[in-house]
Amino acid sequence: MSRWRSRRRRARTRTWRVTRWRSTTCPVTRARLARWAALVVLVPWSAFVLFAAWPSAWRAIVAREAFGETLTPGYFLIRLAVVLLAVLVLLRALWEVLSPAPIPVPILRDPSATRARFGPTQH
C-alpha cells in the first residue's frame, strides 16, 4: 500500500472518530468544551495579539501611514484591521465564556416521521 493511501485512510478514520464522538456526546458537554476552549485558547491569543500589535497600530493610525513602495495611503487600515479582529475575537470568547449554559433538551425521534420520509416498511 502506498504512503498516500495510508495517510488518506488515517485521515478518514480520524474524521469518522470525530463525527462519532460528536454524535455520542451530550450537547451540554460540547458546550462546556467550547467554553473551556474559548477561555484557554481564544482569550490569551487575542490578548497577546492586542498587546503586540497595539503600539505599532496606534503609531500607524496617528501618522496615517502609507504603503512603502507606492506611497498610497491606507496601510494604517490594515493595522487597524488586525487590532479590530483581535478585539472582536476577545469579545466573542468572553461572550462564549460568560453566557448562560444551554438547557439540555431531549431529542425525541418520531418513528412516523421516518416512515413518512422513507415510505412504509415491507416485511
Each residue's pLDDT tens digit, 2-46: 565 666 666 666 666 667 776 777 777 878 888 898 899 999 999
Q: According to DSSP H, which parts of 1-122 are helical?
A: 3-24, 27-37, 43-63, 75-98, 111-118
**Nearest-angstrom CA–CA distance, 79 and 59:** 10
Residue 40: strand, helix, or coil: helix
pLDDT (mean) for 81-101: 90
Q: Which residues, in sequence order, are bridge partners of residue 73?
A: 66
Give the tens place of pLDDT for each residue, 44-70.
999 999 999 999 999 988 988 888 878
Q: State residue 24's pLDDT score.
A: 76
Q: State residue 49's pLDDT score.
A: 95
**Nearest-angstrom CA–CA distance, 102 and 43:** 21
**Nearest-angstrom CA–CA distance, 56 and 74:** 15
**Higher-pLDDT residue of 68, 118:** 68
pLDDT (mean) for 87-99: 91
**Nearest-angstrom CA–CA distance, 108 and 116:** 16
Q: State residue 7's pLDDT score.
A: 62
Q: State residue 42's pLDDT score.
A: 92
* Residue 44: CA count within 13 A, CB half-sphere: 5
Q: State residue 80's pLDDT score.
A: 92
Q: State residue 72's pLDDT score.
A: 82
